[in-house]
Every structure is written in structure tokens, then in C-alpha cells.
Amino acid sequence: MTCLLIVAHGSRREASNDEVRELVKAVRSQASHFESVESAFLELSNPSIPDGLRKAVAEGHQRIIILPYFLSAGRHVTEHIPAEVQKVRDEFPNVEMELITHMGAAGGIIQLLLDQANA
């Protein structure tokens, strides 16, 4: 039972948080490798990263893949998100929580940017 937790920054603009939730719905409908796909937010929206992780554990997932939905590896990616994950890791030592590389490092990002610029 693996959960994909997509972690976004969070915004004071609720429409922006809803944009992330809609993306998560779309990913869920196409994600064959994951039993569930959920969102969490570093700040300004809910659930928080710890709450998102606790919910996934409560639902019975033994493995959680955490994907930082960020384009650049600034301090949010290198320090703040790992610190939030670490809080919950210590609560559930038997659950595998794997923090993977942020979106901006994806190989296809250059082509996507060119597509967007040429659209």
C-alpha cells in the first residue's frame, strides 16, 4: 500500500490551493503505481505535511512517497520540507517515508517550458 503525497507551498489565494487539489485529482486518476494520491501544504493551507503523513499512515499505507511540488531547490525544498517529514518519521518508525527529488529536477521540464513558451 503506497501513497503518493504531493507537497505544494500553499497560498493565501485559495484558488491556488484548489489548483493543486485539482492537479492531485487528475494525477490520482492516472497513477497506477499508487493506491492513493494526496496533497499537503508547507504553509498557508491544509493539511500540513505532518497531518498529511499521519492521515496516510492511519489509512494503512506502509510506504509514502513525498514529492515536493516545487520548481527550484530553495530552502523550502532543502530544509523546511525535510524537517516537517522528520517530525512524523520519528512517530512511525515502521512506515517507509521516502522524500524524492523536487519537480524542477524532472528531465522533461525543459521541453515543457519550451512548449509553454511556444503555445
115 backbone dihedrals φ, ψ, rounded to 5°: -60, -45
Beta bridge partners of 4: 37, 65
Identify the CA nearest to 77 among candidates 52, 108, 105, 97.
105
53 lies in the binding site for a copy of itself (CB under 8 A): no
Binding segment for a copy of itself among 4-12, 51-59, 83-91 (CB under 8 A)? 4-12
Binding characters for a copy of itself, 19-48, by CB under 8 A (x = yes) = xx--x--xx--xx-xx--------------
Would you call 76 a catalytic residue per the annotation?
no
Rounded CA separation 95/59 (Å) = 12
Work out the number of other CB atoms within 10 angstroms of the CB of residue 27.
16
Distance, in Å, from the CA atom of 86 to the CA atom of 84, rounded to the nearest integer, reads 5
Give the span between the Cα atoms of 106 and 47, in whole angstroms.
Answer: 25
Answer for which of 42, 53, 64, 65 binds a copy of itself (CB under 8 A) is: 65
Q: In the range 72-111, which residues lie near a copy of itself by CB under 8 A?
A: 72-75, 77-78, 100-101, 103-111
Least distance CB 118 / a copy of itself (angstroms): 6
CB 98 within 8 A of CB 66: yes
Q: Report, in Å, the least distance between residue 95 CB and a copy of itself.
A: 18
Query: Which residues form the catalytic set?
Result: 9
Residues in touch with a copy of itself (CB under 8 A): 4, 6, 8-9, 11-13, 15-17, 19-20, 23, 26-27, 30-31, 33-34, 65, 67, 69-75, 77-78, 100-101, 103-119
